[in-house]
């Protein structure tokens, strides 16, 4: 009887080559799906992070509190925005600042513990003028920035937050004192512009306008 004929070596090699090509194509497809998923997940996380940070910025501005001259409600020196706000347990000083990192800039938020005395409030305000980033109470909010700008809405237009403002006389907090100290009038709105660095995962700039209530 004639013996059964098996596969030749050439046929086996051809089959293995075809299988290898198909496996490579399948791997490339799976790798593309994984990369797209990771990219989408990273973009979603960055967007959620940005939304959370901007919401905190809005909340700080919405919670501004007059301390009767003990500390400004809102002040800006170009690199740092400082606020006195209401918080559970007293008044809190908050500072938002842009600090350089290795290749770009990072947006930091520092918040003091709530306090109830004028001296503690003023001490916390002074601390905001010495922040370098990384102190207790400081939080790194957003990385990958190349700059930011803050504008105040006064009268009928936007101006740089460092521009001079109207002031009103206010009695000092100490009881029985006769001296009068000036206090700046709050703007009716604050515009914040964040400029993102190339490759940061965000495009262009973010502009946020926040209304300051009476």
DSSP letters spanning 104-126:
SEEEEEEEPPPB-SHHHHHHHHH
* 8 A C-beta contact, residue 110 and residue 138: yes
pLDDT tens, residue by residue, 135-180: 778 888 988 999 899 999 988 899 888 765 544 444 455 554 444 4
* Cβ atoms 161, 78 nearer than 8 A: yes
The token duo for 162 is 């460092």
- Is the pLDDT at 14 greater than 90, yes or no? no
In tens, the pLDDT along 89-122 reads 899 999 999 888 878 889 999 999 999 999 999 9
Total-model pTM:
0.73
Return all residues near 18 (Cβ < 8 A) that are at least 6 apart: none
Burial of residue 6 (CB within 10 Å: 0-12, 13-18, 19+) is exposed
| Per-residue model confidence (pLDDT) at position 37 | 62
């Amino acid at each position: 009887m004639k013996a059964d004929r098996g596969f030749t070596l050439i046929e086996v090699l051809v089959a293995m080559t075809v299988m290898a090509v198909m496996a490579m194509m399948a791997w490339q497809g799976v790798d593309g799906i994984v990369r797209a998923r990771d990219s989408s997940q990273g973009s979603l996380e960055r967007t959620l992070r940005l939304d959370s940070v901007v919401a905190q910025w809005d909340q700080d501005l919405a919670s501004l509190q007059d301390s009767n001259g003990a500390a400004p409600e809102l002040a800006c020196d170009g690199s740092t925005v400082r606020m006195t706000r209401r918080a559970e347990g007293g008044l809190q000083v908050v500072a938002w600042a842009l600090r350089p990192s290795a290749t770009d800039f990072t947006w930091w938020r520092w918040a003091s513990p709530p306090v109830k005395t004028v001296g503690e409030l003023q001490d916390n305000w002074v601390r905001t003028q010495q922040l370098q980033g990384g102190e207790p109470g400081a939080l790194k909010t957003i990385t990958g920035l190349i700059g930011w700008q803050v504008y105040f809405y006064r009268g009928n237009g936007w101006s740089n937050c460092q521009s001079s403002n109207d002031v009103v006389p206010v009695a000092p907090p100490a009881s029985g004192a006769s001296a009068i100290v000036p206090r700046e009038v709050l703007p009716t709105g604050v515009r914040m512009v964040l400029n993102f660095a190339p490759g940061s995962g965000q495009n262009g700039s973010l502009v946020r306008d926040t209304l300051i209530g009476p």
